[in-house]
Amino acid sequence: MAVKIGNIDVGDFPLLLAPMEDVSDPPFRALCKENGADIMYTEFISSEGLIRDAIKSTQKLDIYDFERPIGIQIFGNNINSMRKAAEICEAAKPEFIDINYGCPVKKVANKGAGAGILQDIPKMVAMTKEIVKATNIPVTVKTRLGWDENSLYIVEVAERLQDVGIKAISIHGRTRKQMYKGVADWTLIGEVKNNQNMHIPVFGNGDVDSPEKVAEVKDKYGVDGVMIGRAAIGYPWVFNEIKHFLKTNTHLEKPTLQDRISACKRHLQHSIKWKGEVLGIAEMKRHYTNYFKGIPHFKAYRIKLVISYNLEEIMETLDKVAVEFEGVKF
């Protein structure tokens, strides 16, 4: 049965690419879309930055038709600023606006934004209500189980957010206090999904790093889809691998070295097209290690890729990698 966010059909069991700061930009999203991601989100955008027209924030509003359906994700601690930011986002014509109530990092949470708002549920509900009222497109939420182990109110919170008009919720199976440590607990995500009062899609997130894990949480907790973050970094093939496994109960062949080099080159080219050669090359540096993880004695090539600012030189280095490590198994 097709899952819908508002009136938008997102498929039977959609795979969502998590919004990750400094990762989920258009070049990375392009590769994930090519490899089976169903729903995209922008990197999270500061509401204060948007309403002040800060370049770093407004640039993150860039979305492209090939990415659809896509949501623009915003964060902040001021209700009025968040409402105005939502209006700005709507003008960029995404399919939906997503509110970040899950980011655990200190500089965000300690100001009462992101997961910080989990310490003030009435404000969280009030903010959500205002954002829903301010826009004509579906509003969704990404959040966590609670602030800490003593405030695991997600079942009640999800229902209250639904009552003020959100059209889907994505839940990470950790508290803010846990950050990304320990093991994600999907039990409460399952309770949200199985709450008879819930009628919006419930997506789960946390430690989804293999097709088997997705099959397990789908069957055990009944979620409507899963959101994938860290498992996709340097490995956009994860989406199609999951889809293939859910359909056939068999594994796709792993990407070869040539597949990785080809993806890396495309990522770099997308990056340059979006940000220009100098910045595009600079921002690609953080991705090389992830694409070639598992290759023994790769350090010299990684250093060469990272220190080079010349596109031709980088392409030559990648071609040398293809020759030097031909036949390597991952």
Q: How far is CA 112 from CA 24, 105, 162, 178, 313, in A?
A: 23, 11, 21, 17, 45
Cis peptide, bond prior to residue 69, ω within 30 of zero: yes
Rg of the chain on CA atoms, in Å: 20
Question: How far is residue 185's CA from residue 321's CA, in Å, rounded to a whole number?
Answer: 40
144's enclosing H/E stretch is strand 139-144
Beta bridge partners of 96: 71
* Region of 296 on the Ramachandran plot (φ > 0 left; ψ -120 to 50 alpha; else beta): beta
118 neighbors 104 (Cβ within 8 angstroms)? no
- 10 Å Cβ neighbour count for 318? 21
Quick check: is 103 catalytic?
yes
Report the DSSP pairing between strands 15-17 and 225-228. Answer: parallel
- Supply the DSSP symbol for 200: S
Residue (of 289, 309, 311, 290) closest to 301 by Cα position: 289
The two three-digit tokens of residue 241, written as one number: 């691998």
Residues contacting 104, CB < 8 A, separation 6+: 114, 115, 144, 176, 178, 179, 180
- 10 Å Cβ neighbour count for 90? 16
Amino acid making up residue 306: V
The tokens 């009222």 sit on which residue?
133
60 neighbors 274 (Cβ within 8 angstroms)? no
Q: Which residues are catalytic?
A: 103
